[in-house]
Structure 1
Amino acid sequence: MEIVSNITAAAIEQLSHWGRELGLQVIKQSSGADPGAVIFDTISSAQAQGAEVILADTAGRLHNKAHLVRELAKIDKIICARVESGIYRKVLIIDATTGQNALRQAEIFKEAIGVDSAILTKYDSTAKGGIVIPLCRTCQIPFSFLCTGEELNHITPFNKESYLDSLIEVS
């Protein structure tokens, strides 16, 4: 697993924790390192070692921070040049508490780099995650997972029928 984000120390620490928990190699750079250079070096290292999976986390790139979206596009361009397109996936993480801002975020990210699927987090919060329907309809982005907590067993494959049932569930 590789951490491209150097925006927040908390994100780096959280991913380092999960790397240790799962027995995955985590490559992290010091704050201020160029994310494009980090991903280039990581891909080179992973290919030399015969790694089958590289997970590049680019946390903290909000849609209203144009320079971070440009940075994301640069990372995407580097990956596209170094990795077969059939195995490269771009997954957008959507916080259920974000509300309608998630739609604009998805539109901007889809335009900048393309998005293959999305994961809805914090579904256990008071927010119902109603943004899923507009995202699927407007942006044509399918959801792959739903997260209801901070443990691995709180990550479940997204099930459209269960999700829709939960939206109309009467208390």
Structure 2
Amino acid sequence: MAQKNLLPLILLGLLRDSKKTGYELKKDFDTEIGEFWSVKHSQIYLELKRLTELGEINAVTGFFGSKVEKTYYEITKFGKERFSKWQCSFQNELAVNKDEFVLKLYFIKDKSDERLGQLLKNQYELHLEKLLHLRQRMKDVFSTIDKDNNYGHYLILNHAIKREEEYTQWLDDSLKYISVGEEKNKREYID
């Protein structure tokens, strides 16, 4: 099944509360949205052009308090209607998870495979780093922002933390399991 292009809807959502420049939209992807959605800088501008052509956003270029010319994008009535309609729709299937690490694990047949420990350690370090980052984001964001007025954002961040906690625990357990197997093999070899 073809994957839906959700970028226009994400951009409409980001513009729903205030007008923004392309740079500000990219910053939103680098900080908040990047925790669960990635996009290339060039894709943002292509989509902004399409949304402008569709009449779902307006682009206003000018000098806004500085000597640098900027283009601000703001959502239109049509954009708000499209975003609202999408927000009220439901998915009838789960998203496909494409994970290269999991794919590599699938093809390892033996727990004594020398690549297994390194694969697991590498992922453990990456996920632990991500977990620490997410916990810090929670402190940073919700020490200044009321979570009840940004509850969706809070839920997403909390979900990401729980996901990384579970993932790092699974990796840690897996590393311990193969370590036990390695120790057992060493003892059998010595005996």
Interval containing the TM-score (normalised by the shorter chain): under 0.3
Question: Of the two, which has the highest radius of gyration?
Answer: 2
TM-score (norm 2): 0.23
Give the strand-richer structure, 1 or 2.
1
Q: Which has the higher contact order (CA 8 A, sep 6+)?
A: 2
TM-score (norm 1): 0.25
